[in-house]
Amino acid sequence: MRRYNARTKKVQPDDLKDPYMSAIEYKDMDVCRVCRNIYHNKRWVKDNDLFERLMKKPEKVSYTVCPSCRKIETHYFEGIVELKGDFLFEHKDEILNLIKNTEKRADYINPLYRIGDIEIDEKDKTIRLATTSADLAQRIGKNIEKAYEGVLGLSFSDDNKLVRVHWER
């Protein structure tokens, strides 16, 4: 079984900034070499047309790693989702598709909402995954509950920076 690693952020009460967002100065039109998101107009966007245009002059492209890919690389997550039960494994592929589609839809809202490792434990009838945003973890839980009922629980860390979503059926 893979190591399951999640940390809460160390934040000061007045620190509202995401350390991963502010750690690096990004330049306009920087391209993430991992996910191909582009930093444009002070935000990260997923824009295939813009990407194609930039690739016409590959020597001018400046590559970087976006905050979300850095979070995934360093196992820094804000949401943990744990799913459990026999029903889950009877509908495993469907539910995994629902999870992937939830991530894809979240992309339109914020391309930094992403899923890290997905750990499937057949013996324990458990699927665990981590997300780079608390919001995405909650969306996944709510979408599964909406589609398949079951029992959904949410809990937050003391500093509200890590959400744990538990669903069982």
Q: Which residues bind Zn ion (CB under 5 A)?
A: 32, 34-35, 37, 66, 69
Using the minimum distance from each CB to Zn ion, give the nearer residue, 34 or 154.
34
Would you say 66 or 80 has its CB closer to Zn ion?
66
Chain CA centroid to CA 89, Å: 22
Q: Which is nearer to Zn ion, 69 or 134 (CB)?
A: 69
The type of residue at 149 is: E
Whether the CA torsion 35, 79, 127, 90 is positive or negative: it is: negative
As measured in angstroms, the least distance from the Cβ of 134 to Zn ion is 19
- What interhelical angle do 134-148 and 92-109 show, nearest 10? 140
- The least distance separating Zn ion from the CB of residue 158, rounded to whole angstroms, comes to 29
Closer residue to Zn ion (CB): 34 or 152 = 34
Q: How far is the CB of 116 from Zn ion (least distance, A)?
A: 12
Nearest to 105 by CA among 72, 71, 74, 135: 135
**Both tokens of residue 22?**
């502010």
